[in-house]
Amino acid sequence: MGLREPAVTPRISVVVAQPTPFCNIACSYCYLPGRSDRSVMSPDTVRALFARVFASGWCAPELTIIWHAGEPLVVPVEFYEQAFATIEALRPADVTVRHSFQTNGMLLSERWCSLLRQWQVGIGVSIDGPRRFNDEHRLTRDGRSTFDRTLAGIRLLKAQGIPFHVITVLSEHSLLEPEVLLGFYRAEGIEDVCFNVEESEGAHVSGLFASADPQGRYRQFLRSFWRLARREGGIRFIREIDSLLPRIFRPGEDEVQNIQVEPFAMLNVDCHGNVATFSPELLGLKNDAYGDFLIGNIVRDSLEEMRASPVLAAMTRDIAAGVERCRAECGYFSVCGGGAPVNKLTENGTFGSTRTAFCALTQMVPTDLVLEAFEQVQRGLEAVPPEALAPAPMAAGSARAAPAT
C-alpha cells in the first residue's frame, strides 16, 4: 500500500509510550539507548499526550497503547493507576483503548496482576526458552541468570488466570532445536508464542544475519515448530503464522495496512514527551540525514505543528520512495506493505531501499511456509492438516499487538 496523501487526515492506531528508558537487566542484543536512565514520564506529559491525541480527531476507533522502550514494570503500579485513569477520563466515547505491556516478567506480583485484571491489560513476557537458551543473552546487569525470576512471573500469570503471550528471540542455537522450545512452552502452559529474530538495529549488529544461510535455517525451524505444535497440541497461537493468515487470505482487493510506513499511524513518545513516528525503534536513535528522528514534543507542540516538521517531510518522502520500490520489485509486497523503515535504514543505509535480511526472515519465510501448506492441503496431502491454516482464537492477552521487539 502507498502512503496517504498529505491532505488526508492521519489515523493514529498505536501509541508507543515510554514510561521510562530504564531496564533492570542487560540483554546483549538490546538496541535501546539510555537503558541506565531512570527518568519517568510525568503525569503532566501523560495528560498532554492523550489530550492532544484524543482532541486531534486523528484517533482510530480502536487505539492500542503499548508501554514499552524500557522495562515498564520498574515504574510503580501507582504510575499506571494514575495514567490509566487520566487516559480514561480523556477518552472520547467513540474510541476504545487497550493497554499493553511488554516485560521481562521479573517484577510481576499479585498487585501487578490486580492492575492487569482491572484494566484488562494485554501482557507479553520476554523469555528465550529454557535456561540454556535464555541465559545466552538475557542476563542481569551483574551477569546473573534472569531465567528463574522470569519463569516465576509467567507461573504467577498462569496461577492468576491472566492471559499472556511470550516473545522469544531466536539465537543460532535455539534455531536448531524447535522441539526443545516446544517442549518448554507446553510444560509451562505457554499457549501464545511470538518469535523475534535477532536483528541489526541501532548500534546492535545481528550475529544471526551474519551467519551461514539464516533464511534457510529459520525456514526449517519455523516449519518444524509449526507442524510439531499443530500435531502435539498445547500451542494456540504462533504469531509468525497465525497473524499472517488474514494478510495472505483476505477478501477482494483489500490492501494490507502497514502502520510503520504511514506518518502518525504509530505515534512513539519518550518519557520526556519527545515524539517520533514510523518504526518505534527510531525513537532515541540518531542519523546524519534525519538527526534524532524527532518531530516535536507533545507538551509544547500540537500534532498539526508536528505534521509540518521538516524532519517528518524528509522521512515521509524517503519512506514512501522505499514503499514504491517494494511495490514495484517485491512479490511479497501484498503481504507486508512496504517493510520496516528502521531495518531498511540500519541494514541498507536508506529508507528508500527494499529488501532486508529482516524482511526475508519475518515476511518471506512465513509467507512461503503458509503457501506451501495451503498447496499441500489443496493437493490432499496429509503433511499439514487443514485446521493448521485456520487462525487460532485469541484471548484478552492477545499477541496480535505485540511489539516487534
215-226 pLDDT, tens digit per residue, is: 899 999 999 999
Displacement of CA 326 from its chain's centroid (Å): 21
With cut-offs at 50, 70 and 90, classify the pLDDT of residue 405: very low
3 state SS for 51-120: HHHHHCCCEEEEEEEEECCCCHHHCCHHHHHHHHHHHHHHCCCCCEEEEEEEECCCCCCHHHHHHHHHHC
Q: Which residue type is seen at 300? A: R
CA terminus-to-terminus distance, the chain? 23
Mean pLDDT of 272-290: 93
Question: Does the pLDDT at position 31 exceed 80?
Answer: no
Domain ranges of the chain: 12-248
What pLDDT is recorded for position 250?
Answer: 79
In CATH terms, the fold of domain 12-248 is: TIM Barrel (3.20.20)
Least confident of 158-162, 349-353, 398-402: 398-402
What is the number of other CB atoms lying within 10 angstroms of the CB of residue 310? 10
**Residue position matching grid coordinates 514510561:** 19
Question: Does the pLDDT at position 381 exceed 60?
Answer: no
DSSP 292-342: T---EETTT--HHHHHT-HHHHHHHHHHHHHHHHHHHH-TTHHHHSS--HH
What pLDDT is recorded for position 388?
Answer: 56
What pLDDT is recorded for position 222?
Answer: 96
Q: Over the chain, what is the mean pLDDT?
A: 89
Strands (E), 104-213: 122-126, 165-170, 192-197
User: What is the bridge-based pairing of β-strands 192-197 and 237-238?
Assistant: parallel
Give the rounded percent of residues in the chain with a pLDDT score beyond 90.
Answer: 77
Q: How far apart are CA 388 and CA 370, in angstroms?
A: 9
How do residues 63-79 score in pLDDT, each as one tens digit? 999 999 899 999 999 99
With cut-offs at 50, 70 and 90, classify the pLDDT of residue 389: low
Give the rounded percent of residues in the chain with a pLDDT score beyond 70.
Answer: 88
Question: Does the pLDDT at position 253 exceed 90?
Answer: no
**Residue position matching grid coordinates 528508500:** 352
What pLDDT is recorded for position 385?
Answer: 55
Q: How far apart are CA 167 and CA 175, in angstroms?
A: 14
What pLDDT is recorded for position 205?
Answer: 55
